[in-house]
């Protein structure tokens, strides 16, 4: 009897130990992953604070030996970084909002209205991702020029909306498919119209998906370089990736300090935005909505 109790205690201890080891391993792996993700950002901040000769040191260190604000002063004084961040914010937020606004009813229709055209549309969405941007650039430019939308942020927003649309549509299509039809049926019984169902029932349930889609569209627009480079001419309209590219030179050279400072400044809005909408990503909103 005592032996059996001892064995049980040992088993419990072993299980606790195993659980502890597993938990420690997971935490260690997560920590390593975090370091992997955060290190480039830390390195960028470090570079932005080092005086130029220290950047060229053959014995680099993460902590600057001398902290200097010269690169930030240079960037804010000489370059149009702040202006370009505002342009990028405007383009990014507007295109993200527009793309979700247009894609949401589209994705809903694709899921709920069964038609032979659905597969064709979904196939087209995938096919549209194949074409490289350089291939589309000239015809796209000509279309925008005929609409007087070159060298205009509005033109760029429209291009980004179209550019992100297939993927966002695909993402939302996947999310909507997971929502039980019973939710809508219940709303229909209560007398809700189709539009009410979409905006009153589905949208709250789809908030994580909308957040993810908006973030995808925003980041696509925020990072996009080539379309902005070609479509925008006026220096006052340039977006942040185009502005940052000006710190690089020929043969792999770059003004490393100012580039790091400008990149860090440019990172702040996207981090703030991400922090603001990260709650949308909390999953499980649908869980328990329907009793099986």
Q: Under the rule (CB under 8 A), what is the footprint of another protein?
A: 52-53, 55-60, 74, 78, 86-87, 89-90, 93-94, 97, 134, 137-138, 141-142, 145, 148, 150-153, 207, 225-226, 229-230, 233-237, 242, 245-255, 273, 276-277, 279-280
Q: How far is the C-alpha of 90 from the C-alpha of 88, rounded, in Å?
A: 5
**Ramachandran category for residue 114: left, alpha or beta (phi over 0 → left; psi -120 to 50 → alpha):** beta
Angle ∠(169,173,177) on CA atoms, nearest 5: 170
Residue among 77, 43, 81, 78 at smallest CA distance from 242: 81
Residue 2 is encoded by which pair of tokens? 């005592």
Which CB, 125 or 242, lies closer to another protein?
242
For residues 86 and 122, which CB has a smaller minimum distance to another protein in the complex? Answer: 86
As given in the structure block, the two tokens for residue 57 are: 């040191």
Closer by beta carbon to another protein, 125 or else 210:
210
**Residue 111 or 228: which CB sits closer to another protein?**
228
**Nearest distance in Å: CB 218, another protein:** 9
Residue 246: CB minimum distance to another protein, A: 5
Q: What is the closest distance, in whole angstroms, from the C-beta atom of residue 50 to another protein in the complex?
A: 11
We find the least distance from the C-beta atom of residue 53 to another protein, in angstroms, to be: 5
CA distances from 52 to 258, 259, 261 (A): 9, 12, 12
Please report how close the Cβ of residue 55 comes to another protein at its closest, in angstroms.
7
Report d(CA 215, CA 202) in Å as an integer. 19
In the complex, least distance from residue 99 CB atom to another protein, rounded to whole angstroms: 13
H helix runs in 79-178, sequence order: 81-112, 117-128, 133-146, 153-177
Closest CA to 195 of 206, 186, 184: 184
CA angle at 232 for the pair 226 and 238, rounded to the nearest 5°: 85
Return the number of the residue (125 or 262) whose C-beta is nearest another protein: 262
DSSP, residue by residue, 43-75 = HHHHHHHS-HHHHT-SS--SS-SS---HHHHHH
Nearer to another protein (CB atom), residue 129 or residue 234? 234
Cβ proximity to another protein, 117 vs 135, nearer residue:
135
Report in angstroms how near the CB of residue 187 gets to another protein at its nearest: 20
């Amino acid at each position: 009897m005592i032996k059996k109790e001892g064995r049980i205690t040992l088993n419990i201890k072993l299980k606790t130990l195993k659980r502890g080891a597993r938990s420690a391993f997971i935490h260690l792996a997560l920590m390593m992953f975090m370091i992997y993700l955060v290190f480039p950002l830390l390195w960028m901040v470090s570079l932005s604070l080092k005086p130029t000769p220290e950047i060229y040191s053959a014995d680099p260190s993460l902590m600057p030996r001398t902290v200097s604000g010269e690169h930030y002063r240079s960037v804010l004084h000489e370059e149009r970084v702040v202006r370009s961040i505002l342009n990028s914010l405007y383009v990014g937020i507007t295109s993200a909002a527009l793309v979700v606004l247009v894609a949401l009813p589209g994705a809903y229709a694709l899921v709920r209205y069964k038609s032979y055209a659905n597969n064709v549309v979904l196939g087209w969405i995938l096919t549209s991702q194949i074409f490289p941007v350089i291939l589309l650039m000239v015809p796209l430019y000509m279309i925008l020029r005929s609409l007087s939308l070159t060298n205009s942020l509005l033109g760029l927003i429209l291009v980004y909306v179209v550019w992100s649309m297939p993927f966002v549509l695909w993402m939302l299509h996947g999310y909507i498919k997971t929502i039980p039809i019973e939710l809508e049926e219940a709303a229909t019984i209560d007398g809700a119209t189709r539009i009410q169902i979409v905006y009153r029932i589905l949208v709250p349930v789809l908030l994580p998906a909308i957040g993810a889609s908006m973030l995808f569209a925003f980041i696509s627009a925020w990072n996009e370089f080539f379309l902005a480079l070609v479509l925008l001419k006026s220096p006052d309209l340039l977006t942040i990736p185009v502005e940052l590219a000006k710190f690089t030179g020929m043969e792999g050279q770059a003004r490393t300090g100012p580039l790091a400072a400008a990149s860090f400044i440019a990172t702040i809005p996207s981090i703030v935005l991400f922090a603001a909408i990260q709650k949308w990503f909390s999953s499980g909103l649908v869980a328990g909505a329907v009793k099986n």
